[in-house]
């Protein structure tokens, strides 16, 4: 079985500052890792995914994530956030179905 832990439930940050949202996973087999974003009253939108290959993955809206197998982490980063990045972010691991973390609410303040 796999599980995902998002270490921060809320991350407040000022506009144009960098941000890192942390994600750790556990799985006994190879996994595929994803980050999704959810805006209020919306579904989930894929930000980026790690399937194999380069451990640094670039996604949409300037986000990137680094897969670290030894630390079983897949942290999401953005060098400079905007007000419009305010949303909930979910890390997920896929074996059969997607197993999601509990989410991190990113609050970008002016």
Which tokens is 36 given? 């999704």
**Residue selected from 42, 71, 107, 109 as contacting another protein according to rule CB under 8 A:** 42
Nearer residue to another protein within complex by CB, 15 or 24: 24
Question: Cβ distance 5 to 24 under 8 Å?
Answer: yes
Shortest reach from residue 100's CB to another protein, in Å: 4
Q: x-or-dash pattern for another protein, window 79-108, by CB under 8 A?
A: -----------x---xxxxxxxxxx-----
Nearer residue to another protein within complex by CB, 25 or 36: 36
**Residue selected from 19, 21, 34, 104 as contacting another protein according to rule CB under 8 A:** 34
Shortest reach from residue 57's CB to another protein, in Å: 13
Of 6, 1, 4, nearest in space to 89 by CA? 6
Question: Cβ distance 47 to 63 under 8 Å?
Answer: yes
Locate the DSSP E strands across the chain: 3-6, 10-14, 19-21, 23-26, 32-38, 44-50, 56-58, 64-68, 73-78, 87-94, 98-100, 104-109
Binding residues for another protein, rule: CB under 8 A, are 32, 34, 36, 41-46, 49, 51-52, 90, 94-103
């Amino acid at each position: 079985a796999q599980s995902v832990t998002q270490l921060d439930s809320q991350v407040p940050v000022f506009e144009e500052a960098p941000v890192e949202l942390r994600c750790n996973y556990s799985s006994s087999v190879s996994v595929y890792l994803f980050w999704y974003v959810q805006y209020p009253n919306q579904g989930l939108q894929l930000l980026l995914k790690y399937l194999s290959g380069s451990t640094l993955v670039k996604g949409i809206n300037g986000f990137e994530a680094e897969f670290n197998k030894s630390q079983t982490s897949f942290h999401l980063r953005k060098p400079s956030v905007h007000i419009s990045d305010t949303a909930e972010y979910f890390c997920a691991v896929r074996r059969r179905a997607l197993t999601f973390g509990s989410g991190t609410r990113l609050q970008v303040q002016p």
